[in-house]
Structure 1
Amino acid sequence: MKNTKYDFESVIDRKGTNCLKWDFFDDDLPMWVADMDFKVAPAIEKAIKERAEHPVYGYTIVPDELFESYIGWWDRRYGLEMSREEMTYAIGVMPSISSMIRCLTDENDEILIQSPVYHVFYYVIEDNNRKVLENELIYENDEYKIDFDDLDEKLSKVKMMILCNPHNPIGKIWSENDLNRIGELCKKHDVILISDEIHCDLTDPGVMYNPFKPDDNVIRCLSPSKSFNIAGFQSSIVQSTNAELLEKIKTQMHIDNSDSCNVFATSAVMAAYNESEEWLEELKEILYENKQIVKEYLASELPIVKLIDCDATYLLWLDCSALEVPSKILSEFLRTNQGLFLSAGIDFGQNGDDFLRLNIACPQKLLKEGLGKLKAGVTALNIINNHF
């Protein structure tokens, strides 16, 4: 590991802290949920400690300074201008998407997603008594692309599309051309487009994601929770240039009680966006190093498992099709045999069943331990003996 200013090497014991990743299933090495095992950026830790020193933790308002931190971040890093009037606060991306589904579609409506995709998209659609319509991504030559003919045909049947950019789990940054084509088709069919851009900052060094350009039918969901590992503070915004659409969303989120603010959230968000950019850039270098470790390990030690090249997120998509074992069975065997928990690809859609998702946002000691467990588990399953 290269010399770093910040600590990305310490292995922090998170067990016993009511941690979803480490306590919920009590696995030896959980590498599934999108949660990092690194120390938080020092500026965020300092801001939280300072707020905690005040002995009253009552109801909290959202100050304009929080929205200004978003505005400055997107202008500074991505050249995208936003205004305060275009934004409303939410406790998280998925709660806000749930509210948008309720106020902008009707029960039994179909909502389009692009599978394999973040599994909670399925839940939030179905739990709101809507139906999932899949525009399956095309997987060929070890990479993914959009089936635009299928997208055009299916958008004619829906009122809403939920886009993931960068895409979870495949780690792809959609090109400007892809985004423009999606936008054109949504306009053609009068479809509301929700763009979940929560992984936008977590790109390979020197690589930038492409924000979805503002339009009357476009709603963007933004949050520092993945970039700075502060999901526990439950903070995000919804942004749209369509004032009428935004007002409907505000009303619904108020009804749903999903627009309130955690007492520590504003301190964490402003410290992240205003004071932690250097930490993020260093984090990206570490994640890229980790990605190379996985790539080299699989090539030399476990070539039957293929890494899908990606340029964003800390979630790697592993092609395990040569093992000829359903992903749920493979994932469960790795847990019971090795205590290693990777996400089963089937959770992200039927067309993800040949894959596992691996979270590499951890110190390299844990990552290498996890890779060793992966190899040992696959070997113990007695699947690849004839492939070495």
Structure 2
Amino acid sequence: MKEFDTFIERKGTDSVKWNALKTIYGTDDLLPMWVADMDFASPPEITEAIETRARHGVFGYGQASPDVFQAVKNWVHKRYQWDLEENWLLPSPGVVTALGFAIQALTEEGDKILIQTPVYHPFYHMIENNHRIVVKNPLLLHNGKYEIDFADFEAKLKSGVKLFILCNPHNPVGRVWRREELEKLGDLCHKYSAKIVSDEIHADIIYKPNQHIPIASLSSKLQELTITCIAPSKTFNIPGLQASLMIIPNAELRKKVQSVQGKISFHGLNIFGRIALEAAYKHGEAWLENLLTYLQDNRDYALQFIEQEIPSVKAISPEGTYLLWIDCRSLGLSDNDLKKLLVEKGKLALEPGGKYGVEGEGFVRMNIGCPRSLLEDGLRRLKKALS
């Protein structure tokens, strides 16, 4: 697949991934495989739609047309068999921003919010920055696969948790939660009157035979207590355009979120974010299917390389996302010492696992959403660093 094998120079394009290395890692002579954006060009249909709109030349205030919402509804129906209504959809610049909206709308200062660790670090930040209390339900690693500790989950809900933030597919461990797992989580949240915010930003990046199921689609009772956050950003590599959506079937919850958005005068997405979102969901499916094949090959290549060439560490096989979670605990190194080896010896920038909570210490996260040549280079650097 030549379109994904092509290296595209990103230095000098205001890329955080490629241009913030010196700030984050102390040097800029590293191969960056840390931030979760891909090194692939987005689908040409998105670029063409943006160029067409740009040539118009007038960029006044805008609003989303019915076509935008219809494209989202069609996408969710086709890929997840979930029928949405247009008024359920609220825009947000990004999923992290959506988490902030939901936390402010559904909880009060001092309330407890439950997360499953290790988990995407902004979960912690949004809870703490809004003066809520982080409650952790640590995931359990058994035979190379993460599982949910349901006894602990229920105990934490009993303690007075008001909101549960689900990550599905899970970042960084790569789990795609099964129907029975989601049903059990949902039943317990319903039993203890905890609302759910489901971060499903990686929902389209799923490896066969796994299947993504939106937790809100499982039943009417779960639909009523869940806010689902989706975006084309990870799927089509357009996070810099800042366009995402919150799916909120419950009218009361929706009104509360709209009230929070009103307080900061957020009224909608920018013109190019809307254009890209609509083009992605209307025309991006064939590109996505090719991407998934490429990413699955990358995943399998990386897993085999690490098993054969770096047997001192263990990579967790992701069921979804383009992120590889690597267990380096057998090396007996602190996160700082591990980072030093990677940077100074391997010239490689990976995400330190401790960033995702204490349960992630001794792990690193590698972004494999890149041309095979970069992946091969990164794996060689990883081997050099750890040899």
TM-score bucket of the superposed structures, by smaller chain: over 0.9
Residue in structure 1 matching 2:300, options 285, 289, 292: 292
Please give the residue correspondences for 1:332-343 in structure 2 after superposition, counting only pairs within 5 Å: 332-343=340-351
- The alignment of Structure 1 onto Structure 2 pairs a total of residues equal to 375
1:76 aligned residue: 78
For 1:42 and 1:324, locate their aligned partners in 2 and report how far apart those are by CA, in whole Å: 46
Structure 1 runs of 4+ aligned residues shifted over 3 Å read none
Residue in structure 1 matching 2:6, options 10, 18, 32: 10
Shift of 1:339: 2.4
1:324 alignment partner AA: G
* Identical-pair percentage: 40
Shift of 1:8: 0.3
Q: Is the 2:175–2:318 contact (alpha carbons within 8 Å) kept by the matching residues of 1?
A: yes
1:333 alignment partner AA: L
Given the two structures, how large is their TM-score scaled by the length of structure 2? 0.94
2:248 aligned residue: 240
2:18 alignment partner AA: W
1:212 aligned residue: 215
For 1:59 and 1:330, locate their aligned partners in 2 and report how far apart those are by CA, in whole Å: 49
For 1:178 and 1:240, locate their aligned partners in 2 and report how far apart those are by CA, in whole Å: 22
2:347 alignment partner AA: G
Shift of 1:172: 0.6
Change (3 A) 1:19 1:144: same
Residue in structure 1 matching 2:366, options 354, 358, 363: 358
1:63 aligned residue: 65
Question: RMSD across aligned C-alpha pairs, in angstroms?
Answer: 1.3
Q: Is the 1:205–1:285 contact (alpha carbons within 8 Å) kept by the matching residues of 2?
A: no
**Higher mean C-alpha deviation, range 269-278 or range 18-27:** 18-27
1:113 aligned residue: 115
Q: Is the 2:241–2:272 contact (alpha carbons within 8 Å) kept by the matching residues of 1?
A: yes
Shift of 1:305: 1.3
1:202 aligned residue: 205
Q: Is the 2:4–2:40 contact (alpha carbons within 8 Å) kept by the matching residues of 1?
A: yes
Given the two structures, how large is their TM-score scaled by the length of structure 1? 0.94
Residue in structure 2 matching 1:345, options 346, 353, 357: 353
The answer to whether residue 174 in structure 2 is matched with residue 171 in structure 1 is yes
Shift of 1:337: 2.7
The answer to whether residue 198 in structure 2 is matched with residue 190 in structure 1 is no
2:234 alignment partner AA: K
Shift of 1:205: 4.0
- Where structure 2 has 5 or more consecutive residues not aligned to the other structure, the ranges are 22-27, 218-222
Shift of 1:169: 0.5
Shift of 1:257: 3.7
Residue in structure 2 matching 1:161, options 159, 164, 169: 164
1:24 aligned residue: 20
- Where structure 1 has 5 or more consecutive residues not aligned to the other structure, the ranges are 380-388
1:312 alignment partner AA: G
1:369 alignment partner AA: D
The answer to whether residue 272 in structure 2 is matched with residue 264 in structure 1 is yes
Residue in structure 2 matching 1:321, options 317, 329, 337: 329
Shift of 1:134: 0.3
For 1:164 and 1:69, locate their aligned partners in 2 and report how far apart those are by CA, in whole Å: 24
